[in-house]
Amino acid sequence: MGTLRDLQYALQQKIEELRQRDALIDELELELDQKDELIQNLQTELDKYRSVLQPTGQSVSEQPELAEQQRTKRQAISAEPTALDIKDISHVTLTCYSKNEKSQELIKAAILDNDFMKNLEMSQILEIVDCMYPVEYNQGSCIIKEGDIGSLVYVMEDGKVEVFKDDVKLCEMGPGKVFGELAILYNCTRTATVKALSHTRLWAVDRQCFQTIMMRTGLIKHAEYMHFLKSVPSFQHLQEDVLSKIADVLEEMHYDTGDYIIRQGASGDTFFIISKGKVMVTKQEAAGEELVVLSTLSRGDWFGEQALKG
């Protein structure tokens, strides 16, 4: 256990490191913008040759648009400041659609099986399940077209679809699969075409609803963390912006009775604050000797602060 002054000093060091990283990111963004401009110019020249060699192919104007869309995609995944607070976004009403338990479990299992969405918090997943609405497509219908601007993500409940990219068939998918998720996660164009091989029943949710769920749960979680940090006696003298930065990087972790959180001698890279429960601190003075109980920590106590000092 360190002193509050040690912790404050370590936090200030981390904040300064973050500022330096932000400056580096700005420099890299500028360099990427310059390279994007070069790529766009080269793409334009390439289109001129394509228009001669393949006059029936893609138009000259489409590729520069694609380059611009790719730039937009890169910028869109960066964090953007928002003027909304919890009171504002809590008043947003999301429409829930009734579905039986089988459908709810199918949607939840499909999301948890998806590489891009499985890391969402369970509360977010359950809200997405509630807000998904039913859609149907007949055999031969085009559900998603490559290159279009997408705003919906789908979960298949019944039927079969085939996936194409550049007119090459990639695979077929059946019930319990998610597709179209990149369009709502990264605001990009559709990367493939999906067609119905049979009458298909799907569940869908749009980007606006998805973003509202993400933002609302994020703001609520941040407010909970801020409230918790302010209740910790050792942190009550820290400034609001410092507490906010700590809340931004907090991650909730759970341990069962008897689990080891930190092992003596192991390299540490995590700083812990106890939100609930009790922790026993022990130390072994020499190999072969019994563990000595140093203290018992509870809510509001913290340990592992040496990790902040590197």
Per-residue model confidence as pLDDT tens digits over 209-263 = 888 888 887 787 888 888 888 887 778 888 888 888 888 888 888 898 989 998 8
Per the prediction, the chain carries an average pLDDT of 79
Q: Which of 197, 193, 166 is nearest to 180 (CA)?
A: 193
Which range among 57-71, 87-101, 186-200, 294-308 has the greatest average pLDDT? 186-200
Tell me: pLDDT of 51 over 60: no
Tell me: pLDDT of 66 over 50: no
Per DSSP, the three-state class of 292 is: strand
Torsion of CA 209, 119, 130, 184, to 10 degrees: 30
The length of the chain in residues reads: 310
Strand order in the sheet with 133-137: 133-137, 200-206, 152-158, 178-179
Per-residue model confidence as pLDDT tens digits over 1-37 = 556 677 777 777 778 788 888 888 888 888 888 787 7
Q: How many CB atoms lie within 10 A of CB 224?
A: 14
At 44, which amino acid appears? T
The Cα 180–Cα 193 span in angstroms is 10
Q: What is the CA radius of gyration of the chain?
A: 26
pLDDT value at residue 44: 65
Residues 6+ apart with CB under 8 A from 227: none
The Cα 280–Cα 37 span in angstroms is 58
Residues 6+ apart with CB under 8 A from 95: 131, 133, 209
State the pairing for strand pair 292-297/279-283.
antiparallel
At 75, which amino acid appears? Q
E strands present in 174-261? 178-179, 193-196, 200-206
